[in-house]
Amino acid sequence: MKANDERIRFEATELPVVLSHYDLGVIESITEVARGSSKSPKVGIVCDRGKLLLKRRASARAHPDRVRFAQRVQNAVVAGGYPAPRIIATRDGRRGFVEHGGQVYELYEFIAGQTFQQTPGEAAAAGDALARFHQAVDVLPLEGFTPRGDFHDAAAIRTGLCAIGPTLSAHDSYSGDEAELAALIQGLLGTYDAAADAANATAYRDGPQGIIHADWHPGNLLFRGGKVVAVFDFDAVRRSQRIIDVANGALQFSMIARGDPATWPEHLDETRFEAFVSAYERVQRLGDDDRQALPHLMIEALIAECVQPITETGSVGRWSGYRVLHMVRRNTAWINANLGRLADV
């Protein structure tokens, strides 16, 4: 569930300084790329070195230790032939990122492809690619600085939900709807708590942990001929249970998201859901606890995704936070009504 919104852009004085750290030769063109997080500006560069993509990391994920960990993961999977962009080293060959003005910048090779067209075949390709990512990182040691945490049973999600009321109530457009808004938020808080309790009851967290992508959604994958040709945005990689990735991916690749969230159907696309999960399981089998936890974690993921943007801006991209919350309530109710079918795919 992603949308384009008011994007942060590079300052005119930023790019010359940052690009001076790389050996690029003659630069033919620099073009803004409106893809991915609006908090992480990007430009495409055509130069003697080829086609590249420069990204400024969102501040929340720009701590140097986090960047080094993410790059270690990305470099490892690329070295093993996984379809992810190669990180371009700085001119001295010693670093994979540039620090300037309190910001962190990364330069990648550019990979061309198409965005997700909401087909079952592409959903299956996304499930397969996630399983192969988990397979590729199995050999990486979990040592040194390793980010942890996820959307499951998280105090930050509950705190954020409680903060949504004051955020939206401050907008004149919600005048008169305060009581309904409060009931909506309380309902979602209860839904989140119930889903977290149900997932915990499966004991899925007793299973082994590993590295997860933690942001597996259509905006971070490119396709060509129905196959995944590029996986992007390793900024959130961390240590957790793999089913966290599977649950978020199964949700994101089965959402029927077109236009205003108020018009989205309450149900998921079950064909795409089954295609995603089945393709994942052809490579990496899910345990019984994982299967039972899956739909509950999907509920948590959907609620968690809207919390931060709505508390910060009152919206999710160009979409009204109030309308998004109503959509979330409809979709989580449908998942709750179909727990058995979703767990038995």
Query: What are the tens digits of pLDDT across the range 137-153?
Result: 998 887 778 899 999 99
Q: Is residue 256 part of a domain?
A: yes
- Residue 234 φ then ψ, to 5°: -90, 15
Q: Within this chain, do residues 136 and 279 fall inside the same structural domain, yes or no?
A: yes
Q: Is residue 2 part of a domain?
A: no
Q: Is residue 132 part of a domain?
A: yes
Name the burial class of residue 55, with classes exposed (0-12), middle (13-18) and buried (19+) by CB atoms within 10 angstroms of its CB. buried
Q: Within this chain, do residues 204 and 335 fall inside the same structural domain, yes or no?
A: yes
Q: Within this chain, do residues 135 and 95 fall inside the same structural domain, yes or no?
A: no
Q: Within this chain, do residues 278 and 136 fall inside the same structural domain, yes or no?
A: yes
Name the burial class of residue 167, with classes exposed (0-12), middle (13-18) and buried (19+) by CB atoms within 10 angstroms of its CB. middle
Q: Within this chain, do residues 184 and 328 fall inside the same structural domain, yes or no?
A: yes
Q: Kindly tell me if the per-residue pLDDT of 173 is higher than 70.
A: no
Distances 306 to 11, 148, 164, 187, 342 between C-alpha atoms, Å: 29, 20, 10, 15, 22
For residue 47, the cross-strand partners are 27, 50
Choose one of 52, 75, 109: the last residue of a domain: 109
Number of domains the chain contains: 2
Average pLDDT across the chain, whole number: 92
This prediction has a pTM of 0.93
Task: Specify the pLDDT at position 145.
Answer: 86
Q: Within this chain, do residues 60 and 203 fall inside the same structural domain, yes or no?
A: no
Q: Within this chain, do residues 260 and 330 fall inside the same structural domain, yes or no?
A: yes
Q: Within this chain, do residues 183 and 275 fall inside the same structural domain, yes or no?
A: yes
Q: Is residue 114 part of a domain?
A: no
Task: Specify the pLDDT at position 237.
Answer: 96
Q: Within this chain, do residues 230 and 264 fall inside the same structural domain, yes or no?
A: yes
Task: Specify the pLDDT at position 176.
Answer: 64
Q: Is residue 3 part of a domain?
A: no
Q: Kindly tell me if the per-residue pLDDT of 212 is higher than 50.
A: yes
Q: Is residue 125 part of a domain?
A: yes
Q: Is 77:131 a contact under the CB 8 Å cutoff?
A: no
How far is 220 from 274, CA to CA, in rounded Å? 20
For residue 66, give the CATH number of its domain. Answer: 3.30.200.20
How far is 283 from 206, CA to CA, in rounded Å? 21
How far is 268 from 255, CA to CA, in rounded Å? 5
Choose one of 49, 76, 109: the last residue of a domain: 109
Query: What are the tens digits of pLDDT across the range 34-75?
Result: 876 677 899 999 999 999 999 999 888 889 999 999 999 999
**Residue 4 binned pLDDT confidence (cut-offs 50, 70, 90):** very low
Output the six-digit token pair for 191: 């839904």
Q: Within this chain, do residues 69 and 166 fall inside the same structural domain, yes or no?
A: no
Q: Within this chain, do residues 301 and 223 fall inside the same structural domain, yes or no?
A: yes
Q: Within this chain, do residues 87 and 179 fall inside the same structural domain, yes or no?
A: no
**Domain around 22:** 14-109
